[in-house]
């Protein structure tokens, strides 16, 4: 190819590109992921503005941190445009001869070592590869390449030196002579070495060395980083190198200081663990005596006590037992953090584990006084066993049940629900108590930090922190939702196994897991409520760091992300998740708060959810659930209970009847319990459906139902929140709630629940 037809586009070199409004963290991540020395900044239209050396950027960031060590973010401190190095912008269609003439007519351009090439629309396409161009120019009429290159060295702002084996110093530019010294030479080989010129240098120039090498060394009380680049385009009889130097003294000092501080922190953390372990063991012996002797006193084994003495003995026992529990929790937490606590996973019967956990807490409540706390255990019909550590799983459930009872008044039910959440086994401990105040919800999993106020007595100890760590030690996590006056739900997620994973071909559907990253309790509640009604399991994170942990651990199908988060902003969470290969494919929906302007990173989001929440717009942003496989409903007999004054031709009943008819199912109806009991004694009924629109007292109605010989033994599908709550208070009924409002959009969900209930009866 003739040089006359060559353009600069033939010498375009691709490089990393970033918009000038990008965050510093994303810029550093881009430099690290692309392993480049230089990043080109462009404007919104793609026109190049300049270049940034990531080393210079790193040095500037470290200086900012040194000046303001308590600032958690560096975004407000740095203007990227102020750090840009200038470049000359040229048309990629310029020919080589035109470029030569342009350089001759623009002597001021000789100092610029970067040339940016743009297309016809002034969009950046790459940097000019000067090395290739000079190599070609040596044989095509350019000035001699070595002379041209030496001219370039003199005008370069950083210290540069060129040398070879026979001529250790061919040229040193002015910055090198001023900052390093004219008699100092440094060269690189696979094992980096340096020496002054007065020494023999033949051994420091291996003839087969072709790569770019770097090395850091100390000279004249300064720390320099040298990069050695072979110059293959020069017409020399022997290998020639270019050495570039950076003064990294301050970075080295910062790194050394960080190494020392990290070592101190590691040592302090080890001392803390040793102290906790030592003090726990030392306190256990006297506490054992206190508990033992107070037990003898309160049981009057060593003599009769009066009323006040008995009360004091009971207080001593309770306080000693509480302190012993705290010490055991501290020991377990310390062993978990240091890797000394080993789990022993075995196959456990889920129902037995849950019942034993409740019985332990119930016995504890009885010792503190008689309390009437109804308990409900609901386990999905597909689930029988779980692979976990028996003691630790009971310990986690026990802590959550204990808190649920503490938050509940007499007569307020608590319970455990076990089901599949995507690929996870979910143990949900719920209560209908007072709930957790909004200002305390972000603190309950923080170690050694207690919320102040009336909530503190209920959250004493470190049980929740230990529960979270035990869940993570099992390979899972924990999440919760709570609303003041309506109760709380804490969910432990444990990995499922091929033995416990449900067979989706059997007719069950499981929607993908949804992660909500939000700090406003009302938005959390509204989103959770809508997603739950749509059949999606929900996990909540309230800080940026917690969001990263849960996203990497649980791999949700969608993430709803609030840009305003504590500890780590939502935009940082978005960039970090998209930069991680394990989480980059997860669609992230930005919760659009009206007061939040969107920065440049918003284009990495999969969508936006505007507030106030609209159900139809939410449905569009959700992943599709697996199609409903309802063929297993064939030949089921379903009994729907009505009251004497309740119409049987409601829209839901007509729609349900049509759907079941299409599935070849028999739908029977009864207007009273007596009639339903007679039908159940004659027909082989699989499921009973009870509507929530009861005008009579639902509790009394359900109590009568529980005494029916045949109806009480059948699975009961309850429609409506109030009816479900009343049904959960009746101990001997098998409840399968459907909380969706009646309508055509959710009839498939009702059919799915009927199928699950029927399978449990078989």
Beta bridge partners of 87: none
Q: What is the dihedral of CA 53, 56, 58, 61, to 10 degrees?
A: -130
d(CA 34, CA 525): 41
CB-based contact 510:383 (threshold 8 Å): no
**b/e sequence 529-564, b meaning 16+ C-beta within 10 Å:** ebbbebbbbbbbbbbbebbbebbebbbbbbbbbbbe
> Which of 97-106, 555-564, 677-686 shows the lowest mean pLDDT across its residues?
97-106
Same domain, 347 and 334: no
Q: Which of 399, 557, 531 is nearest to 478 (CA)?
A: 399
Beta bridge partners of 12: 128
Q: What is the mean pLDDT of residues 497-518?
A: 65
> Which of 164-173, 278-287, 362-371 shows the lowest mean pLDDT across its residues?
362-371
Same domain, 133 and 170: no
* Residue 184: strand, helix, or coil: strand
Give the sign of the dihedral formed by CA 188, CA 191, CA 197, CA 202: negative
Give the model confidence (pLDDT) of 475-506 as tens digits.
Answer: 889 999 998 888 899 999 998 765 555 554 44
Widest CA span of the chain, in angstroms? 116
Over 70: is that where the pLDDT of 382 sits? Answer: yes
Could you give the percent of the chain with pLDDT greater than 70? 72
d(CA 354, CA 762): 23
Over 50: is that where the pLDDT of 101 sits? Answer: yes
Same domain, 463 and 426: yes
Over 80: is that where the pLDDT of 623 sits? Answer: no
Over 50: is that where the pLDDT of 181 sits? Answer: yes
The number of folded domains in the chain is: 6
Give CA separation, 295 vs 76, 292, 360, in Å: 62, 5, 19
**Distance, first Cα to last Cα, the chain:** 81
| CA 290 remoteness from chain centre | 45
Work out the pLDDT band at 430, boundaries 50, 70, 90: very high
CATH of the domain at 499: 3.30.565.10
d(CA 633, CA 636): 6
Length of the chain (residues): 762
Q: From 271, 304, 338, give the residue that closes a domain.
A: 338
Same domain, 594 and 654: no
Query: 584: phi > 0 → left, psi -120 to 50 → alpha, else beta; which?
Result: alpha
Give CA separation, 83 vs 50, 58, 138, 160, 340, in Å: 9, 11, 35, 21, 48
Q: Which residue has the higher pLDDT, 466 or 156?
A: 466
Strand ranges inside 45-120, DSSP E: 48-53, 88-91, 115-118
Same domain, 294 and 366: no
> Which of 56-70, 122-136, 519-533, 672-686 shows the lowest mean pLDDT across its residues?
56-70
Over 50: is that where the pLDDT of 468 sits? Answer: yes
CATH of the domain at 648: 3.40.50.2300
Same domain, 530 and 611: yes
Cis status of the peptide bond prior to 191, with omega within 30 of 0: no
Work out the pLDDT band at 680, boundaries 50, 70, 90: confident
Q: What's the whole-number average pLDDT of the chain?
A: 76
Same domain, 109 and 131: yes
Residue 418 CB-half CA count within 13 A = 23
Q: How high is the pLDDT of residue 394?
A: 92
Helix residue ranges, H only, 156-248: 174-179
Q: Which residue has the higher pLDDT, 25 or 548?
A: 548
Same domain, 444 and 380: yes
Tell me which residue range forms the domain holding 558: 511-623
Q: Which of 624-628, 682-686, 697-701 has the highest mean pLDDT?
A: 682-686
Give the model confidence (pLDDT) of 537-588 as tens digits.
Answer: 899 998 888 999 999 888 898 999 998 887 788 888 998 998 888 888 899 9
Strand ranges inside 200-257, DSSP E: 213-219, 222-230, 240-247
SS3 content of the chain, % helix, strand, coil (to 5): 45, 20, 35
String of DSSP letters for 530-564: HHHHTT--EEEE-SHHHHHHHHHHH--SEEEE-S-
Over 50: is that where the pLDDT of 226 sits? Answer: yes
Phi, psi of 665 (to 5 degrees): -110, 150
Give the model confidence (pLDDT) of 8-24 as tens digits.
Answer: 888 888 888 888 777 77
Work out the pLDDT band at 657, boundaries 50, 70, 90: low
Same domain, 499 and 515: no
Same domain, 87 and 42: yes
Work out the pLDDT band at 321, boundaries 50, 70, 90: confident
d(CA 359, CA 354): 9
* Residue 626: strand, helix, or coil: coil
Q: How high is the pLDDT of residue 370?
A: 58
Q: Which of 22-26, 216-220, 416-420 has the highest mean pLDDT?
A: 416-420
d(CA 468, CA 72): 26
* Residue 51: strand, helix, or coil: strand
Give CA separation, 429 vs 374, 450, 640, 650, in Å: 13, 22, 30, 35
Q: What is the mean pLDDT of residues 714-743?
A: 76
Q: How high is the pLDDT of residue 204?
A: 39
Exposure of 225 by Cβ count < 10 A (0-12 exposed, 13-18 middle, 19+ buried)? Answer: middle
Q: Which of 531, 495, 499 is nearest to 513 (CA)?
A: 531
Q: From 247, 272, 288, give the residue that closes a domain.
A: 247
Could you give the percent of the chain with pLDDT greater than 90? 9
Q: Which residue has the higher pLDDT, 743 or 305?
A: 305
Same domain, 366 and 294: no
Give the model confidence (pLDDT) of 193-212 as tens digits.
Answer: 333 333 333 333 344 444 55
Same domain, 360 and 485: yes
Q: What is the dihedral of CA 556, 561, 564, 565, to 10 degrees?
A: -10
Q: From 488, 504, 520, give the residue that closes a domain.
A: 504
Q: How high is the pLDDT of residue 627?
A: 45
CB-based contact 641:693 (threshold 8 Å): no
Q: What is the mean pLDDT of residues 644-662?
A: 58
Over 60: is that where the pLDDT of 694 sits? Answer: no
Q: Which residue has the higher pLDDT, 368 or 362?
A: 362
CB-based contact 481:538 (threshold 8 Å): yes
């Amino acid at each position: 190819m003739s040089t006359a037809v060559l353009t600069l586009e033939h010498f375009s070199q691709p490089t990393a590109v970033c918009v000038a409004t990008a965050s510093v963290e994303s810029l550093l991540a881009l430099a690290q992921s692309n392993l480049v020395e230089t990043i080109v900044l462009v404007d919104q239209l793609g026109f190049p503005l300049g270049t940034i050396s990531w080393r210079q950027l790193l040095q500037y960031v470290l200086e900012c941190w040194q000046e303001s060590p308590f600032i958690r973010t560096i975004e407000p401190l740095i203007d990227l445009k102020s750090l840009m190095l200038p470049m000359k912008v040229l048309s990629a269609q310029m020919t080589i001869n035109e470029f030569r003439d342009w350089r001759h007519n623009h002597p001021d351009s000789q100092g610029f070592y970067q040339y940016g090439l743009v297309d016809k629309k002034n969009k950046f396409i790459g940097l000019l590869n000067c090395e290739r161009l000079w190599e070609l120019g040596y044989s095509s009429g350019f000035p001699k390449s070595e002379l041209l290159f030496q001219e370039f060295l003199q005008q370069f702002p950083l210290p540069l030196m060129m040398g070879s084996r026979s001529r250790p110093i061919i040229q040193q530019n002015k910055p090198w002579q001023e900052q390093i010294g004219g008699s100092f030479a440094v060269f690189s080989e696979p094992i980096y070495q340096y020496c002054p010129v007065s020494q023999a240098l033949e051994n420091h120039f291996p003839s087969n060395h072709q790569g770019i090498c770097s090395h850091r060394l100390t000279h004249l009380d300064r720390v320099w980083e040298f990069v050695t680049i072979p110059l293959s385009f020069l017409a020399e009889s022997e290998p020639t190198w270019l050495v570039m130097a950076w003064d990294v003294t301050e970075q080295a000092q910062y790194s050394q200081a960080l190494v020392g501080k990290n070592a101190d922190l590691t040592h302090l953390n080890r001392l803390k663990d040793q102290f906790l372990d030592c003090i726990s063991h030392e306190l256990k012996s006297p506490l054992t005596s206190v508990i033992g002797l107070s037990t003898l006193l309160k049981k009057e084994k060593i003599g009769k006590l009066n009323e006040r003495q008995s009360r004091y003995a009971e207080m001593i026992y309770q306080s000693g037992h509480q302190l012993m529990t705290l010490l055991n929790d501290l020991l377990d937490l310390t062993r978990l953090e240091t890797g000394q606590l080993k789990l022993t996973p075995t196959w456990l019967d889920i129902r037995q584990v849950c019942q034993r956990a409740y019985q332990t807490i119930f016995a504890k409540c009885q010792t503190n006084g008689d309390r009437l706390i109804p308990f409900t255990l609901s386990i999905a019909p597909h689930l029988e066993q779980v692979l976990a550590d028996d003691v630790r799983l009971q310990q986690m459930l026990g802590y959550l049940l204990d808190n649920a009872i503490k938050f509940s008044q007499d007569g307020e039910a608590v319970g455990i629900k076990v089901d599949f959440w995507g690929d996870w086994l979910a143990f949900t401990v719920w209560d209908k108590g007072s709930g957790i105040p909004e200002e305390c919800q972000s603190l309950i999993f923080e170690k050694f930090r207690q919320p102040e106020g009336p909530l503190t007595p209920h959250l004493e100890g470190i049980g929740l922190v230990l529960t979270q760590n035990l869940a993570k030690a099992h390979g899972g996590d924990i999440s919760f939702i709570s609303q003041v006056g309506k109760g709380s739900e804490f969910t432990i997620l444990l990995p499922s196994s091929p033995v416990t994973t449900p067979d989706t071909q059997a007719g069950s559907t499981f929607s993908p897991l949804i992660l909500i990253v939000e700090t406003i309790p009302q938005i959390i509640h509204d989103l959770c409520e809508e997603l739950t009604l749509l059949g999606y399991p929900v996990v909540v994170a309230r800080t940026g760091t917690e969001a990263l942990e849960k996203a990497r651990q649980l791999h949700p199908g969608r993430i709803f992300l609030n840009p305003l988060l504590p500890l780590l902003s939502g935009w940082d969470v978005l960039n970090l998740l998209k930069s991680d290969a394990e989480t980059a494919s997860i669609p992230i929906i930005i919760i659009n708060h009206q007061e939040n302007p969107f920065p440049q990173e918003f284009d990495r989001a999969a969508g936006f959810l505007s507030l106030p929440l609209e159900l139809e717009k939410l449905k569009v942003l959700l992943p599709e659930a697996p199609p409903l496989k309802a063929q297993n409903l064939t030949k089921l007999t379903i009994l729907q209970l009505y009251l004497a004054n309740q119409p049987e031709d409601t829209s839901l009943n007509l729609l349900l009847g049509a759907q079941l008819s299409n599935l070849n199912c028999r739908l029977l109806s009864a207007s009273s319990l007596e009639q339903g009991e007679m039908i159940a004694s004659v027909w082989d009924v699989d499921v009973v459906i009870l509507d929530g629109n009861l005008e009579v007292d639902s509790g009394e109605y359900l109590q009568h139902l529980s005494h029916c010989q045949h109806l009480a033994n059948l699975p009961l599908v309850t429609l409506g929140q109030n009816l479900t709550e009343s049904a959960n208070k009746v101990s001997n009924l098998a409840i399968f709630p459907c909380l969706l409002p009646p309508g055509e959009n959710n009839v498939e969900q009702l059919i799915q629940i009927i199928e699950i209930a029927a399978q449990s009866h078989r």
